[in-house]
Structure 1
Amino acid sequence: MSASASSPAPSVGVPSDVVARLRAAGCVFAEDEARLLVSAAGTAAELTAMVDRRVAGLPLEHVLGWAEFCGLRIAVDPGVFVPRRRTEFLVREAAALARPRAVVVDLCCGSGALGAALVRALDGAELYATDIDPAAVGCARRNVAEAGGRVYEGDLYGPLPRALRGRVDVLLANVPYVPTEEVGLLPQEARIHEARVALDGGADGLDVLRRVTTEAPDWLAPGGSLLVETSERQAPLAVEAFTAGGLVPRVARSDELYATVVIGTRPGPGAV
């Protein structure tokens, strides 16, 4: 995409050449991005280097070192999955379910954005998070430190303290759900600059989701819930997986954010 003579003039304080370079590189919100880069850069040389990285295709959040999520500034290191705005819907749904002083677990936590945002919305919650990617774990530890959360490196439930079994009130799992054959169709920012393990969900995109649902009842407290983001077309198969795992499922959708979340609740005592 190239700039045109009819393009709006940049705001005062935002160099027009920066906006022009970003527009030429295909950045749809070039002026907004330029404003963020200018505010983040300490010197002209630093600004040039940041613009160079953005024009080369690095996600804006990786250039800045942070992403905005649920009103928080979340640190995002190079290679770490960038939290998407649509996933704020999952956090809102989780907050509506959580009881005071809830025990929260964030699987496949990436930057730790979901757990950090949810705990901020709750009163006195305990937060535990896991990810298999060492870079993500290091990033998440910084993001959840203020909330007193603990982040463990390992595969799904594997590194969690055994004492959490049967005690988890809210289980967040923003699992990878892109089918393997579709990973190559993702935008370059994700395909090249985010870890494949955070994107590739197997043949139909639901491999990790099925593993999460199979073990979830062992970790959830009675009445506790698992929340997983998926696509609208994958939701029926995801519901089947939740049911097979012994959870009572429902699907929540946000047209505004184009988001689909499957929620599964562990039945309480006496449920049939």
Structure 2
Amino acid sequence: MTPTSFHPDRPALVGRLRAAGCVFAEDEAELLIAAADSPEALTALADRRVAGQPLEYLLGWAEFCGLRVAVDAGVFVPRGRTALLVEAAAAVAGPAPAVVDLCCGSGAIAVALAERLAPRWLAAVDVDPAAVACARRNLAGRDVAVLLGDLYEPLPRDRRGRLDLVVANAPYVPTAAVALLPPEARLHEAPVALDGGADGLAVLRRVAAGAVDWLAPGGHLVVETSDRQAEALCASMRALGLAPRVLRAPEWDATAVTARRPG
């Protein structure tokens, strides 16, 4: 973090953030102070935070699985709950897997899996050009292809049927519930990263259908969903011939589904 040579009024900043509804006002105040190099810069950051802009956009990064991941304005902010997806993927991946991260957003999951798995091949895909640009920054210097396109469409054809692991934090908010999301998400993150269709499972069903063709026999699909959607998603996966299992982590308010392709 950037050292500061000025002496901000921390209690006043904390009070202002708390009044604006920031639950972790003390922590946010320290992060904003560290990110500012002058009183004017701090005031500008505080003004934007009070106006509802996500803290991660103001800082330019988010913490995810113990890593600092760059996050650009408009790109989906990685949530702490998605650590369950990473843990679940690492548990089923096997040695030196071939992996694709669909709906990659900032590339946070791909970064975390690159650290944990030492994959022999890793790609990340998103349909949003802003997300792809952000993921390319986060994955720069690694042997990772970051591709623009719809789910499996931009993947090399020779990878079909040869992937060991497909992970996806695809959008799963039902369309009617998007308007009920916190303003930080609803007003600032790309709608394509949030809206999962009428029941929230439209994109996840497409991810599962494609996994049947792209996974190697014995390979795994790992996705995030909500607790109330998990059983319906599992039913769709079983109908495709996949063998799903639901994982829950109440401490993270997180639900993930792993699905194995038999063979």
TM-score class normalised by the smaller sequence: over 0.9
TM-score calculated relative to the size of structure 2: 0.95
Query: Which residue pairs with 2:153 in the alignment?
Result: 158
Contact 1:216-1:245 at 8 Å conserved across structures = no
The answer to whether the 8 Å contact 1:14/1:38 transfers is: no
Work out whether residues 87 and 259 of structure 1, in 8 Å CA contact, stay in contact via their aligned partners in 2.
Answer: yes
| Cα distance in 2 for residues equivalent to 1:223 and 1:247 | 10
What one-letter code is carried by the residue in structure 2 that aligns with 1:56? A
Give the whole-Å Cα distance in 2 for the aligned partners of 1:25 and 1:117. Answer: 33
How far the C-alpha of 1:199 sits from its partner, in A, is 0.5
1:84-121 Cα shifts (integer Å, max 9, x gaps): 10000110111111122111100000001011101101
How far apart, CA to CA, are the structure 2 residues paired with 1:253 and 1:193? 28
Contact 2:8–2:39, Cα closer than 8 Å, also in 1: no
CA distance in 1, matches of 2:8, 2:90: 39
| Paired position in structure 2 for 1:23 | 18
1:92 equivalent among 87, 93, 101: 87
User: Alignment partner for residue 238 of structure 2, among 230, 236, 243?
Assistant: 243
Which amino acid letter does the alignment assign opposite residue 60 of structure 2? G
Deviation, 1:241, is: 1.3
SS where residue 227 of structure 2 aligns? coil
Structure 2 partner of 1:3: none
% identical aligned pairs: 63
Quick one: distance in 2 between partners of 1:192 and 1:253?
29
Residue of structure 2 aligned with 1:203, choices 184, 198, 203? 198
- Give the TM-score of the pair, scaled to structure 1: 0.92
Match of 1:7 in 2: none
Residue of structure 2 in register with 1:54 after alignment:
49
Give deviations 1:148-168, integer Å, cap 9, x for gaps: 211111111111111111111
1:230 corresponds to: 225
Give the structure with the larger helix fraction: 2
Amino acid across the alignment from 2:113:
L
Superposition deviation, residue 15 in structure 1: 2.3
SS in 2 for 1:45: helix
1:79 aligns with 2:74: yes
Contact 1:183 1:200 in 2 (8 A): yes
Q: Give the counterpart letter for 2:259 in structure 1.
A: G
Gaps of 5+ in 2: 1-6
Match of 2:163 among 165, 168, 174: 168
Q: CA deviation at 1:13?
A: 6.5
CA distance in 1, matches of 2:241, 2:209: 8
Picking from 35, 58, 66, the partner of 1:63 is: 58
Separation in 2 of the partners of 1:203 and 1:36?
Answer: 38
Change (3 A) 1:45 1:241: same
Alignment partners' CA distance in 2, 1:182 and 1:232: 15
Residue 124 of structure 2 corresponds to 129
Q: Give the CA deviation at 1:14.
A: 5.9
SS state of the match for residue 158, structure 1?
A: coil
Specify every segment of 5 or more residues in structure 1 that has no aligned partner in the other structure, as ranges: 1-11
Give the match for residue 120 of structure 1: 115
* Aligned position for 2:4: none
- Stretches (4+) displaced over 3 A: none
For residue 40 of structure 1, the aligned residue among 15, 20, 35 is: 35
Paired residue total: 257
1:104–1:14 Cα change, 3 Å: farther
Q: Is residue 258 of structure 2 the alignment partner of residue 259 of structure 1? A: no
Give the aligned partner of residue 3 of structure 2: none
State how far apart, in whole Å, the 2-side matches of 1:224 and 1:119 are.
18
| Deviation (angstroms), 1:32 | 0.4
- Is 2:98–2:119's contact at 8 Å kept on the other side of the alignment? no
Q: Secondary structure at the match of 2:251?
A: coil
Which is worse superposed, 147-156 or 176-185? 147-156
Aligned partner letter, 1:220 = L
